Amino acid sequence: MEAALSAFLKYAEMGGYVMPPLILATMALWFGLGFRFSVLRKGRGYEPRQAVAAVVDGRLVRPKSAVERAAILGVQQKDETTFNLRARLDETFSYVEQDLSKYKTLTSVIVAVAPLLGLLGTVSGMIETFASLGDMTLYSQSGGHRGRDFQGAADDAVRPYGGHPRSDPGGHLGSPAAGARKPDRRDQKHPHRG
């Protein structure tokens, strides 16, 4: 558990300033989806007419879905009075409709915005990568370290084959096929070439 938490914190740190909103959006999305799943679950699988018949027969007392809850509320309203029943049913069912539409907007907005936040994080990471390449600083987000520059690493990679790579920009003289050559004045840096 501790390893998973440390890995999560490491990824959150690497993600930069986009990660906190993404984490909050993920938690809100799963809460909204979980709530909507609990409200929209099928229960016993009754169709609306079957649910009303089960309530009238006394077989359905405890609702397990929105349809069953609406059937119970509707039968209760009918048993109380039939005067202006349609308006009273509309008012009673409006509470069920509110439950059905709860967190719908939240989940829709998060589903639309989260990929854009991810794209923003990708673009900011690319900008940081190119900026670190520009000043030869690697891993600048974690404080950065200035190690050997890229040219130094390239020199070490080519040097075993002979020659000085900076004096041979094409890389032909230092190749194994060309054979090793003796250092000469071309290996010295010319002041006017910078």
Supply the pTM of this predicted model: 0.52
Domain-ending residue, one of 94, 114, 134:
114
User: pLDDT tens-digit profile of 112-155?
Assistant: 998 888 888 888 888 888 887 876 655 545 554 444 444 454 45
Number of domains into which the chain is organized: 2
Let me know if residue 122 belongs to a domain: no
Let me know if residue 17 belongs to a domain: yes
What contacts 166, CB < 8 A, 6 or more positions away?
A: 151, 155, 189
> What is the residue range of 77's domain?
11-114
Let me know if residue 134 belongs to a domain: no
Same domain, 101 and 178: no
Integer Cα distance of 42 and 71 in angstroms: 14
Same domain, 110 and 56: yes
Average pLDDT, the chain: 75
**What are the φ and ψ backbone dihedral angles of 145, each rounded to 5 degrees?**
-145, 145
